[in-house]
Structure 1
Amino acid sequence: MDISYILNEYAEDRDEYFRAIAPPIMQTSNFAFKTVEALRSSFDDEYSTWLYSRGLNPTVEILRKKLAALDGAEDCLVFNSGSAAIFASVLANVKSGDHIVSVRNPYTWAKKMFDEILPRFNVRTTYIDGTDVNNFSSAIRENTTLFYLESPNSWTYELQDLAAVAQLAKQHNIITICDNSFCTPLYQRPIELGIDLVLQSATKYIGGHSDVIAGVLCGGSDIIKRIFNSEYNNIGSGIQPFNAWLLIRGLRTLQARLDRITSTTEKVLDYLKSHPLVEKVIFPLDEAFPQYDLAKSQMKGGCGLLTFVIKCYTVSGIEKFCESLKHILMAVSWGGHESLIIPRCAGIKPESFNGSADQRMLRLYCGLEDADYIIKDLEQAFNVIENG
């Protein structure tokens, strides 16, 4: 299915809503029935009709179909946040006594779930270096039911060989879940590589304007329906119609925004690699990246996140650099119109800072500004710390 068709037309039956170009927001909590039998049928199978917007809603339905098509998936659920999508996808595929294999240092709220919540129900997690598929194989136990992947991750961008991990998992009847927030379905399609469930934070590139929080989970129709009938509705974490409408709006420009962001990031990358105050730049589609060949083979693009190690060996110096930026905002997340930066040392107590390379990392997101605009801001901040 053509991407332009998915983004602009697919799942939009305009004759159903007055031929409006933009679909309406069905801002309703529930739906009426003309017969008791119709109501009874909806109780039996809420997944097949409009009953209550905690579950299905017409505006959300348009979004679900578009996102599933982008991922090459049979079906999709959209959540109030990316962390909700993570929680539901994992919870749906483990039971007491099960074992999970996860890549090391996953997203903060995934790790919290693995370390603090699931152990209360006797579900244990083993963390591995996911860059080597043999590490997955070595970590498998008799009770392993789930592989949790994040490719690339959002700081140092380690990848997993998704096709190889998926093949291994299928040999052992293990479910695979991959967080695809870095790439989006436009730049990486894990389902085509054999992954069972693919999630992403739609807060990032799908929304694109830093005004909505949401999460996406795509996969086969049977497993998605099972999650809908249990974790999705029980937790009550489905997206609301207005936020779904904002994401539909964001999809219209997704391809154009990613193309622009990718082009800008390449120019900023070149600038940082040549700067004397930059020790190292980490980006999966840079030829110096250790997994460059794998990145080229399973990713179509790199989007806007990169990390650089600054040659500044004090917390105060790194803080001075970040606080001297005039246009690049200091904030978490990425994927919006604005460029953002976050220093690794923000998560470290000043007394624990030792000046190591990993503590001197800064993650930069390149937004929709001109590349020269971003570079000039970085340059003046470098000058501040260089000149004391």
Structure 2
Amino acid sequence: MESIAPTNDQFESLSPAVMRGSTVVFKNFNDFANRKSRQPDGFSYGITGTPTARGLERRIAQLEGGRHCVITPSGQSALMTTVMGFVRGGDHLLVSAACYGALKAFAQKWLASMNVEVEFYPPAVGAEIESLIRANTRMICMESPGTVTMEMQDTPAIAAIAKRRGVLTMMDNTWASPLGFRPLDHGVDFSIEAATKFLGGHSDLLMGSISMNDSAHYDVLRETQSVLGQQVSPEDCFLVLRGLETLGLRVAAQSASALCVAQWLQMQPEVDRVLYPPLESDPGHALWKRDFRTNGCLFSLILKPAPEAAFHGFFDAFKRFVIGASWGGVHSLAAYYPASLQADRLFPATDQPVVRLSIGLEDTGELIADLQAALAGYAAGRASAPAR
């Protein structure tokens, strides 16, 4: 069959090609009959990707210092795909209590009903995790810093113990990105990124990635991707490839601005605590300073106690910050986590509401001015609250 795609050997572009396709065509019967042998890197059906996806996977693996990468439709799906690839009924799974909420829900509501023994461990744990490892422990799921309350883990210590005990490790590394921390360099088996955040960088797509060094693990995850139907749009792959071109510049600028804003916030009278490992006042600062190379762009703060009505004054005052979930894009975001959510957490860092801020690329002075107005709105709400 003659190709219908035009060819021109004299055309080259700095922009990667977007190659779409569900059906992969074969030159002869033998190639078709043996199509499964093309995996994990080759192409047998569109569900495992196109050359556009493979190009992105190679770029991410290079950033992570890994040999292999599998991309999935979201960071959330990258976490679930990794667990589903290796954890089975009868296994014991250790999960950080500060992990991404969807992973916690998946572990509690689905894995536990599949006879997986799920145990949540204190998020600031280090080498003490060895006391929690059992004969049937299959995997340890880490996230550092924690997704809302920013607890740091001693990742190299946990990975070394897990390796010695024959336990797999995965780490959600989205906060730092591969530019700030490379889990594979520290002995972690699987480095997970929500490419939705820093790698894409513009709040216009969903994607996740799983990077690793072990070829057998790669075989398992490529098959898991196929069986679970975790296909990624080539257009989204293109957008992440384009986002990677400015990743270093964005991370550097957002990291610098985030530190400046956090330092200003910790001096404000309405702020009780800023949860941000790059600050010397943070309990996880020593681990961050030892292992990490960037400041991230995400941190949380606990305001002085006030009725929830005061938070309306805080959020409604924003002109530059946008209220919304997610983070890591060029626009600054603010999100609210009520006290009831902290009460539901194991090993909670606080019993107070948490405000989480993602710092984008806006002028730092304008962001501080915006927060100053928000804090003034919060103070007014506190002052007008009925005395107890």
- Scaled by the length of structure 1, the TM-score of the pair is 0.91
In structure 1, the partner of 2:163 is 170
Of residues 221, 229, 253, the one that matches 1:227 is 221
Q: CA deviation at 1:357?
A: 5.1
Residue type of the alignment partner of 1:66: R
- The answer to whether residue 288 in structure 2 is matched with residue 295 in structure 1 is yes
In structure 1, the partner of 2:265 is 272
Give me the whole-angstrom Cα distance separating, in 2, the residues matched to 1:30 and 1:346. Answer: 50
Secondary structure at 2:193's aligned position in 1?
Answer: strand
Q: CA deviation at 1:126?
A: 1.1
In structure 1, the partner of 2:142 is 149
Give me the whole-angstrom Cα distance separating, in 1, the residues matched to 2:129 and 2:378. Answer: 44
Give me the whole-angstrom Cα distance separating, in 1, the residues matched to 2:184 and 2:251. Answer: 21
Give me the whole-angstrom Cα distance separating, in 2, the residues matched to 1:328 and 1:56. Answer: 36
Secondary structure at 1:359's aligned position in 2?
Answer: coil
Of residues 56, 79, 95, the one that matches 1:102 is 95
Give me the whole-angstrom Cα distance separating, in 2, the residues matched to 1:17 and 1:129. Answer: 59
Q: CA deviation at 1:17?
A: 9.0
Give me the whole-angstrom Cα distance separating, in 2, the residues matched to 1:267 and 1:239. Answer: 37
In structure 1, the partner of 2:14 is 21
- The answer to whether residue 184 in structure 2 is matched with residue 184 in structure 1 is no
Structure 1, unaligned stretches of length 5 or more?
1-14, 350-355
1:44-86 residue CA offsets vs partner (Å, 9 max, x unmatched): 3332422222113100011000000100111000000111111
Matches within 5 A, 1:70-149: 70-149=63-142
Give me the whole-angstrom Cα distance separating, in 1, the residues matched to 2:9 and 2:300. Answer: 47
Give me the whole-angstrom Cα distance separating, in 2, the residues matched to 1:289 and 1:346. Answer: 21
Secondary structure at 1:232's aligned position in 2?
Answer: helix
1:296-335 residue CA offsets vs partner (Å, 9 max, x unmatched): 1111012111111112411010122112212211111100
Give me the whole-angstrom Cα distance separating, in 1, the residues matched to 2:10 and 2:75. Answer: 30
- The answer to whether residue 31 in structure 2 is matched with residue 38 in structure 1 is yes
Q: Does the Cα contact within 8 Å between 1:281 and 1:306 map onto a contact in 2?
A: yes
Give me the whole-angstrom Cα distance separating, in 2, the residues matched to 1:71 and 1:114. Answer: 26
Q: Decide whether aligned partners of structure 1 residues 116 and 16 sit closer, same or farther in structure 2, where only a CA change above 3 A counts.
A: farther
Secondary structure at 1:239's aligned position in 2?
Answer: coil
Give me the whole-angstrom Cα distance separating, in 2, the residues matched to 1:25 and 1:17. Answer: 18
Secondary structure at 1:25's aligned position in 2?
Answer: coil
Give me the whole-angstrom Cα distance separating, in 1, the residues matched to 2:310 and 2:108. Answer: 34
- Scaled by the length of structure 2, the TM-score of the pair is 0.91
Residue type of the alignment partner of 2:232: I
Q: CA deviation at 1:374?
A: 0.6
Q: Does the Cα contact within 8 Å between 2:173 and 2:191 map onto a contact in 1?
A: yes
Give me the whole-angstrom Cα distance separating, in 1, the residues matched to 2:341 and 2:30. Answer: 60
Secondary structure at 2:352's aligned position in 1?
Answer: helix
Give me the whole-angstrom Cα distance separating, in 2, the residues matched to 1:17 and 1:315. Answer: 64
Q: Decide whether aligned partners of structure 1 residues 344 and 359 sit closer, same or farther in structure 2, where only a CA change above 3 A counts.
A: farther
Secondary structure at 2:265's aligned position in 1?
Answer: helix
User: Percent same amino acid at aligned positions?
Assistant: 29
Q: Does the Cα contact within 8 Å between 1:128 and 1:135 map onto a contact in 2?
A: no
| Residues paired across the two proteins, number | 368
In structure 2, the partner of 1:201 is 194
Comparing 43-52 and 104-113, the one that deviates more: 43-52
In structure 1, the partner of 2:346 is none
Greater share of residues in helix:
1
Q: Does the Cα contact within 8 Å between 1:325 and 1:378 map onto a contact in 2?
A: yes
Matches within 5 A, 1:202-217: 202-217=195-210
- The answer to whether residue 308 in structure 2 is matched with residue 343 in structure 1 is no
Structure 2, unaligned stretches of length 5 or more?
1-7, 343-348, 382-388
Give me the whole-angstrom Cα distance separating, in 2, the residues matched to 1:246 and 1:346. Answer: 37
Q: Decide whether aligned partners of structure 1 residues 341 and 17 sit closer, same or farther in structure 2, where only a CA change above 3 A counts.
A: farther
In structure 2, the partner of 1:353 is none
Give me the whole-angstrom Cα distance separating, in 2, the residues matched to 1:150 and 1:272. Answer: 25
In structure 1, the partner of 2:316 is 323
Matches within 5 A, 1:357-376: 358-376=351-369
Q: Decide whether aligned partners of structure 1 residues 121 and 265 sit closer, same or farther in structure 2, where only a CA change above 3 A counts.
A: same
Q: CA deviation at 1:348?
A: 5.1
Q: Does the Cα contact within 8 Å between 1:322 and 1:381 map onto a contact in 2?
A: yes
Give me the whole-angstrom Cα distance separating, in 2, the residues matched to 1:337 and 1:235. Answer: 32
